[in-house]
Structure 1
Amino acid sequence: MLLPLGSIVYLKEGTTKTMIINRAIVVEINGKEQMFEYEGCLYPLGSEEKKNYLFNSGQIDKVIFKGYADEDEERFQQVFTEWQEKNQIPLAEVEQSEQDEEDKLFGGK
């Protein structure tokens, strides 16, 4: 189950809070479709061009605040789960040694 939009997290080895602003981002890496569960921006700064982060739940160290959830969020979770089961797009993984690819995915340094 994905965290709701607006959730605020610390990423592993991170020192700045990240706010979730998008979910289920499908990208092409090395010619194959892969998915990141989340896109986030620095909190409290907000979204800035080329400064958003793509990440998965395995990279979350701590949830600081869980975003708003209502019946629409419940419906999204249900539809997303069905979509994920049908499409079987693997989660993306970014290794530390792949700095060039990471710069593309995370907006550069």
Structure 2
Amino acid sequence: MLTIGSVVYLKEGSKKIMILNRGPLVMVDGKTNKFDYSGCVYPIGLVSNEVLYFNEENIDEILFTGFYDEDEARFQNLYSNWAEYNASRIKKGVVDKALENNES
């Protein structure tokens, strides 16, 4: 699991994406889905209607890994236990199209 602040390229993507969140729950077609990450375009940052949701398998390259300490280690352990406990209740979201190129 990558830390908040990590920067990645997604497969078939041309923009750097900074991880904002791990395990976001998102309503898709009226059902709750869990994604591995949410992110924003780097270096622009968070724009409310441009949050990206993606999974570990969508990452092509890790460019930078964010801060890691004992609190992060504890979070990762607790999150892993939570995800395992809820795996049958909350469906993992699927990313089935490449990141659109919305250059400004």
Q: TM-score, normalised by structure 2?
A: 0.85
Superposed structure 1 runs of 4+ greater than 4 Å apart? none
Structure-2 residue corresponding to 1:95: 96
- The runs of 5 or more residues in structure 2 that have no matched partner are 98-104
The separation in 1 between residues aligned to 2:43 and 2:30, in whole angstroms, is: 35
Q: Secondary structure at the match of 2:92?
A: coil
Percent identical pairs in the alignment equals: 44
The separation in 1 between residues aligned to 2:30 and 2:47, in whole angstroms, is: 27
- The runs of 5 or more residues in structure 1 that have no matched partner are 97-109
The separation in 2 between residues aligned to 1:49 and 1:29, in whole angstroms, is: 17
Q: CA RMSD in A?
A: 1.2
Does 2:43 match 1:34? no
The separation in 1 between residues aligned to 2:62 and 2:9, in whole angstroms, is: 7
What is the total number of aligned residue pairs between the two structures?
Answer: 95
Amino acid in structure 2 at the alignment position of 1:87: N
The separation in 2 between residues aligned to 1:94 and 1:17, in whole angstroms, is: 17
Q: Secondary structure at the match of 2:35?
A: strand
Q: TM-score, normalised by structure 1?
A: 0.81
Structure-2 residue corresponding to 1:23: 22
Q: Which structure 2 residues correspond to residues 1-109 of structure 1 after superposition, within 5 A? A: 2-88=1-87, 89-96=90-97
Question: How far does residue 52 in structure 1 lie from its aligned partner after superposition?
Answer: 1.5
Residues 1-43 of structure 1: CA deviation (Å, up to 9, x unaligned):
x100000000011111000011111123233322011110011
